[in-house]
Structure 1
């Protein structure tokens, strides 16, 4: 009679160990030893099957391997081997939907540094995660679908990536490319930020320059959404403001140049503020295209671009040329097209956007950070699909009987 200690469920911080006695026999014919089978022992390891299954269920949540090993009293290497050997995510075979969102995220170095994510934004479903974003790999992946299947795709939502645009346009010739609003608004916002930083560096009034640097959040908001009720104190200007009155105060400073008795530095500062506010108005006019309804978005977008070309604004000129030459139709579609997004709580009408896939990328970053990084893309992809609740197969074979007892 022999005994073995099997690690079972823990009650809080108290580990539970089952001491199991079993018989060991010898064959009289061949003189070989064999032991009695323990039905609840997992794969000849010092752990019970329910304990290991519970650890595998924890991997559907965003827990690290180290925390799971501590909760179940198992070693980190044991948890990793169980995860690698017993959970299998099948390959994705699906039909392409009429609307897809694409984006990249930083993955692992064993396959491709950046992976490729494909999502159905209407239903909020991740279609697949591809190991590389290279054009040759994406072309071979999507050519697995027949042409009549790729023809079903009507809209592709993406960021301002020229390489993705060329690939998607060649693979899906009947699909309309739509730019995500967040990306081109951020690009225009970065142009305004550069003009604001340059203005702060040239201003002679240092308290005013520090105040403008500190209140960046006010310039990002749409002007009509600024709060005009709640007051706050500006320590640099030694005055009380509301969000709307602060912007109005800058406009009054820009009008000082009209006074005859102004000091030279004051007139120079007013010119700098006026130039910054002109860039601010360009950014606000782009926000106006999004926040307000227009009868003719094409005319309004052309008017916004023409103003930049007429004034030869150095901050927005390169962006405007890029919008006019490559992204005019995708920008116009993002402004004028609307759809109904379906979620668990219901459905709502909005524009085509990459909001869901950007949220997915945030979850992926959180999974990677909690795991302190992944070495292999296969394990990262498996963990992402587990966290999303996708179906998986749990295979465990009894090494003594040679048959699977869980599946």
Structure 2
């Protein structure tokens, strides 16, 4: 380990090279001929750069008196180990000897300062900036901390310091909104978090830690009445609570039900009918046990639109005695197992066709005239759509869908999974907004 007497003489050539390497632009820092050493620190070989920070201060930092007539006296420098960005997976440290000064007036001492290191900090600003850049990537904060050899709390502090909160503009709301919810963190006030975005651009506007109506009403009332009146359409899932909140905060907005949730409701109803038909089979019977396995294995073929089934291509399907059959023949056989399943399948396909054609009247005519042969749970699931007849009918005429927002929800799940969960909702919210480019480094 070198002492101050070994490095107090500046080496002009090495000084310029090391400053370029370490990206140091402070003229008050200089390096000597023996500035680069290899030393063990915390049982790891480390690149140690020895530097000196000295200058003549203009005034005392403690009392503020101007430095005149040798009011400030130089004391012996004090060494500080400043952590740098690792170089080739090897830890790097700047051992900086900071000049100390003694004030004759207030009898206090203080050390020289530089922009390269914040006050009372032992991590370089360059390292903090590198951590802030990595926070934009799909990496967990623990992995970032391990990569740069810092603590998890240090990464959290960089996140809080370099990225401030989203700016709130009470005078602006897009004309078309997408709203949805997702599972948040344990410190959230509500069971689910709330997210909403612009329907045209897909850009997230904000993320809240509670989706309950009184919280949403209080939040949206922060926007001006003119901004809320400009909202024309709000796309949501089939959550009855949102239907009561939206007219209060957006007086001129029309509610649309998302296309995905309509199809999901229909598909889920038919899939549950397939499970009920499958469970009614006698497993003690050899033939019915084979049919049970076929219904269980080929559920995807039943969920497909009939026009997307293969009618010409022959291939072998397991459980069909190694015969070469088409995909449509497989579906035809499955529908012969249970007449109720066959009737449910016909209704399911008719609803998909009506939805694809964008005609609300035939769509609801099918639901209004369900056959008595159908089971009650299946009919109940489809009749649930009647509660949103007005919203669904309007959604057939508009191009807006929650697809863009569902993509954001998937991104949130990916970020949560990579991080193995978040303790703080604020940190989760910031990571999502950073990923979307809504928060920039200050």
TM-score tier by shorter-chain length is 0.7 to 0.9
Is the counterpart of residue 244 in structure 1 residue 356 in structure 2?
A: no
| 1:191 alignment partner, one of 269, 285, 309 | 269
Match of 1:301 in 2: 363
| 2:425 alignment partner, one of 377, 388, 391 | 377
Give the secondary-structure state (helix, strand or coil) at the position aligned to 2:376. Answer: coil
Tell me how large the CA RMSD over aligned residues is.
Answer: 2.1
Indicate if the aligned counterparts of 1:211 and 1:234 stay in contact, CA closer than 8 A. no
Indicate if the aligned counterparts of 1:301 and 1:332 stay in contact, CA closer than 8 A. no
Give the secondary-structure state (helix, strand or coil) at the position aligned to 1:389. Answer: coil
Give the secondary-structure state (helix, strand or coil) at the position aligned to 1:157. Answer: strand
TM-score normalised according to structure 2 size: 0.75
Match of 2:115 in 1: 39
| Change in 2 beyond 3 A, CA 1:179/1:236 | same
Match of 2:306 in 1: 223
Looking at structure 2, the residues matched to 182 and 298 of structure 1 have their Cα atoms a distance apart, in angstroms, of: 15
Looking at structure 1, the residues matched to 222 and 97 of structure 2 have their Cα atoms a distance apart, in angstroms, of: 55
* Alignment deviations for residues 126-149 of structure 1 (CA, whole Å, 9 cap, x no partner): 111122111111111222233332
**Larger radius of gyration, structure 1 or 2?**
2
Looking at structure 2, the residues matched to 19 and 3 of structure 1 have their Cα atoms a distance apart, in angstroms, of: 6
Indicate if the aligned counterparts of 1:308 and 1:320 stay in contact, CA closer than 8 A. no
Indicate if the aligned counterparts of 1:188 and 1:283 stay in contact, CA closer than 8 A. yes
| 1:287 alignment partner, one of 348, 352, 368 | 352
Residue 241 of structure 1 deviates from its aligned partner by 2.9
Looking at structure 1, the residues matched to 392 and 166 of structure 2 have their Cα atoms a distance apart, in angstroms, of: 37
Which of structures 1 and 2 has the larger relative contact order (alpha carbons within 8 angstroms, sep 6+)? 1
Looking at structure 1, the residues matched to 306 and 88 of structure 2 have their Cα atoms a distance apart, in angstroms, of: 53
Give the secondary-structure state (helix, strand or coil) at the position aligned to 2:97. Answer: strand
Looking at structure 1, the residues matched to 334 and 373 of structure 2 have their Cα atoms a distance apart, in angstroms, of: 22
Looking at structure 2, the residues matched to 198 and 114 of structure 1 have their Cα atoms a distance apart, in angstroms, of: 31
Structure 1 residue runs without a partner (length 5+): 255-269, 339-350, 395-407
Indicate if the aligned counterparts of 1:90 and 1:392 stay in contact, CA closer than 8 A. no
Structure 2 residue runs without a partner (length 5+): 1-76
Looking at structure 2, the residues matched to 68 and 107 of structure 1 have their Cα atoms a distance apart, in angstroms, of: 22
| Change in 2 beyond 3 A, CA 1:303/1:90 | closer
Residue 316 of structure 1 deviates from its aligned partner by 2.6
Indicate if the aligned counterparts of 1:89 and 1:393 stay in contact, CA closer than 8 A. no
| Change in 2 beyond 3 A, CA 1:14/1:208 | same
Residue 309 of structure 1 deviates from its aligned partner by 6.1
* Alignment deviations for residues 65-124 of structure 1 (CA, whole Å, 9 cap, x no partner): 111112222222222223224431233215122210100112223333322111112111
Match of 1:352 in 2: 400
Looking at structure 1, the residues matched to 109 and 195 of structure 2 have their Cα atoms a distance apart, in angstroms, of: 53
Residue 393 of structure 1 deviates from its aligned partner by 5.4
Match of 1:327 in 2: 388
Is the counterpart of residue 179 in structure 1 residue 257 in structure 2?
A: yes
Looking at structure 2, the residues matched to 319 and 250 of structure 1 have their Cα atoms a distance apart, in angstroms, of: 22
* Alignment deviations for residues 146-165 of structure 1 (CA, whole Å, 9 cap, x no partner): 33322221111100001111
TM-score normalised according to structure 1 size: 0.81
